[in-house]
Structure 1
């Protein structure tokens, strides 16, 4: 309410100053913004010559736009050596300028001094001598060439530019946007749970958990540039399971921050973590709701300290625990501790996973994520070979964990049937 009228007032004042300057006449001509007492001369600029403009005496209309300001091509400008166009002396008088040209580089209609910089996506460009730009060559997370190659190919999905990823390098994307460590051998060797299909039992060709359990399947939380998918996916699956198995009497959105800050045994918070450790913590220590302990949005860097744990619990007997402190969010008072039963590992057979999801709710899955994953916009995602002909630094992969919420299948134009999983990153994946 206040900024808008204030901005309008400022515009009116500036307009009044310009009008006043014009009434004073050329003998009191003010220096335009961006012009210095000794004048400005950019490398190779063509102004008077381009317009074939050279005026005698004083001529206020003998002017051209110059880098957001105004420069002149009349003889009056030569008296002050202040606001002449860069090529006035060369073109109109046939003499060298009274001062050496300022060295710099042109970009986007603007002159940058030597060592001046601008950002081109994730790469910094620096002005060198003789008007030459030197830019970093880091692969960017948002790669327009890769987007075009995917969309022109027949890969079954569409790529696009996600503005949240713009300006990040591919290395930063892998490091900060994923965050699940590969499970140790002890986890991979866990006995798998087999449910088995009953005689004559047929699974549907499509299923979505939110349709079977409306209002009990929660929307995903944004992990930002925190490499903490281990905590986010675990909290997401546990939230839905608690809601489903309590028949809707409890519908918490469990706190990823509680895991990130307090589950520190072999875990690294926003630098990555293990799923087995997250489920152990949920079972033995428990976590509060996200309303009680919201995500801080802390973007972990290599040197920065992790946020301290703000919520501990203590045993009450029979495995139950209670919080030992109030909620870090002072507006919320419900600091109930939620715990889960031991986690188990499903068989790798797709029908086993489908039946588990159908009967008990969303499940957690590990994904091998490649460089094109960050460009997904629609369709059924699968890793493409578009980077194979590029240098190796354009090919990166990492491990991600997600909440699987359903499945389906799609008939392609060529008649093939393609099956897919749906998960909490709003994607369909093969």
Structure 2
């Protein structure tokens, strides 16, 4: 008679490193069952305490944050999620952690410590000619944050390095990367998103928009959370899909040291970061966020655009979210810097814009000649 062990139990055995040799089979399974029931009981208790169908916004959480003198930030009942359940909110948190077996092959960028960095830095003012840096978008009901963080950062970097304002298509990456990047609206890997930008590029937002003309009837906005289909055809008949592609030269991680992250943003522009989201983050209104209360809900990816220090001496990162301007501080938020708050300094990914397939015509004012590169 063969005994079958579920994949979960098998992994549990491996993780616990239990010695099977010499242990009576009945005793082993008795111990294993007790351990399994303990874990299963903890999971049930957690799910019971965190009712997925309950509202994500709770006055009790906002009150707990606002009455805590050590919190450092203000909580509120944000209009953006006034009708959301915990389950619906969790669907927005689509950043998956890079598998450990992949990390060894990923280039890690660091910068010279001799580089002098300002105390406060905001990419919106440093490159004021780049309109994309200050845009706050809306991912709708889709867990596409992993795609937004990458495409927004690359759009900004095209302006910073090539002096051209261009909005690239989140929808191209979300719909066409497929299983290589993850699961579309059910989440993806920021690093793999950047690899897609290297090998396949993305078209312009004009060619393949995330939202259509009515504002939010695109698949990314539907409550069904369906991943859009990859069509590979521009909505405008005047544009060609392949010619609209824009690429990244590279895909890399930035060393988790805060100085390296600051130097990367200072030299090359905004980066994509991923971090762990707890219930209280949904209530963020202003100030420098740090986790105070609530259950862990998932991973989220956003665009990091700067840093600074408050009058009280609290160091922070400045980030642009893609939950519309109804959430947070006009769509932005700050989070503690230098303490790896919620893992914000561990998963920093980026790449540089490529001249591949990119032609820019510049009119020479002296002789009217067109120069391309």
- TM-score bin (small chain): 0.5 to 0.7
Separation in 2 of the partners of 1:137 and 1:254? Answer: 34
- 1:123-169 deviation line (CA, Å, top 9, x unaligned): xxxxxxxxxxxxx9943211112112211222111111122212222
Q: How many residues align?
A: 264
CA shift, 1:202, in A, is 3.1
Separation in 2 of the partners of 1:229 and 1:239? Answer: 15
User: What's the counterpart of residue 22 of structure 1?
Assistant: none
1:304–1:203 CA distance, 2 compared to 1 (3 A): closer
- Conservation of the 8 A alpha-carbon contact between 1:265 and 1:277: no
Separation in 2 of the partners of 1:143 and 1:263? Answer: 36
CA shift, 1:344, in A, is 1.4
- Conservation of the 8 A alpha-carbon contact between 2:202 and 2:245: yes
CA shift, 1:203, in A, is 1.7
Separation in 2 of the partners of 1:137 and 1:224? Answer: 19
CA shift, 1:333, in A, is 7.2
Separation in 1 of the partners of 2:179 and 2:168? Answer: 20
User: What's the counterpart of residue 69 of structure 1?
Assistant: none
Q: CA RMSD in A?
A: 2.3
User: What's the counterpart of residue 275 of structure 1?
Assistant: 190
1:310–1:182 CA distance, 2 compared to 1 (3 A): same
- Conservation of the 8 A alpha-carbon contact between 1:270 and 1:300: no
Q: Relative contact order: is structure 1 or structure 2 higher (C-alpha 8 Å, sep ≥ 6)?
A: 2
- Conservation of the 8 A alpha-carbon contact between 1:382 and 1:429: yes
Aligned counterparts, 1:371-390, within 5 A = 371-385=279-293, 387=294
User: What's the counterpart of residue 328 of structure 1?
Assistant: 235
2:83 is aligned with 1:167:
yes
- Conservation of the 8 A alpha-carbon contact between 1:177 and 1:225: yes
- Conservation of the 8 A alpha-carbon contact between 1:209 and 1:217: no
1:208–1:137 CA distance, 2 compared to 1 (3 A): closer
User: What's the counterpart of residue 347 of structure 1?
Assistant: 255
CA shift, 1:197, in A, is 2.0
- 1:60-109 deviation line (CA, Å, top 9, x unaligned): xxxxxxxxxxxxxxxxxxxxxxxxxxxxxxxxxxxxxxxxxxxxxxxxxx
Aligned counterparts, 1:419-430, within 5 A = 419-425=315-321, 426-430=332-336
- Conservation of the 8 A alpha-carbon contact between 1:271 and 1:300: no
CA shift, 1:287, in A, is 0.9
CA shift, 1:220, in A, is 2.9
Aligned counterparts, 1:63-212, within 5 A = 138-154=53-69, 155-174=71-90, 176-189=91-104, 190-198=106-114, 201-212=115-126
Partner SS for 1:407: strand
Choose which of 343, 356, 367 in structure 1 pairs with 2:264: 356
- Conservation of the 8 A alpha-carbon contact between 2:52 and 2:86: no
In structure 1, the gaps of 5 or more residues are 1-135, 312-324, 388-394
Most deviating of 298-307 and 146-155: 298-307
1:286–1:372 CA distance, 2 compared to 1 (3 A): same
CA shift, 1:405, in A, is 0.3
- Conservation of the 8 A alpha-carbon contact between 1:370 and 1:398: yes
- Larger helix fraction of residues: 2
- 1:318-345 deviation line (CA, Å, top 9, x unaligned): xxxxxxx4x1245877962101111111
Partner SS for 2:179: coil
CA shift, 1:239, in A, is 0.4
Which structure has the larger Rg over C-alpha atoms?
Answer: 1
CA shift, 1:358, in A, is 0.7
Aligned counterparts, 1:220-369, within 5 A = 220-246=136-162, 248=163, 250-266=164-180, 267-296=182-211, 297-299=218-220, 306-311=227-232, 325=233, 327-329=234-236, 336-369=244-277
1:202–1:265 CA distance, 2 compared to 1 (3 A): same
Separation in 1 of the partners of 2:184 and 2:236? Answer: 20
- Larger strand fraction of residues: 1
Separation in 1 of the partners of 2:239 and 2:165? Answer: 16
Aligned counterparts, 1:21-100, within 5 A = none
User: What's the counterpart of residue 305 of structure 2?
Assistant: 405
Partner SS for 1:411: coil
1:369–1:238 CA distance, 2 compared to 1 (3 A): same
- Conservation of the 8 A alpha-carbon contact between 1:237 and 1:363: yes
Most deviating of 419-428 and 148-157: 148-157
- Conservation of the 8 A alpha-carbon contact between 2:277 and 2:299: yes
The TM-score, its normalising length taken from structure 2, stands at 0.66
CA shift, 1:208, in A, is 0.6
Partner SS for 2:277: strand
Separation in 1 of the partners of 2:101 and 2:296? Answer: 27
Separation in 2 of the partners of 1:137 and 1:273? Answer: 22
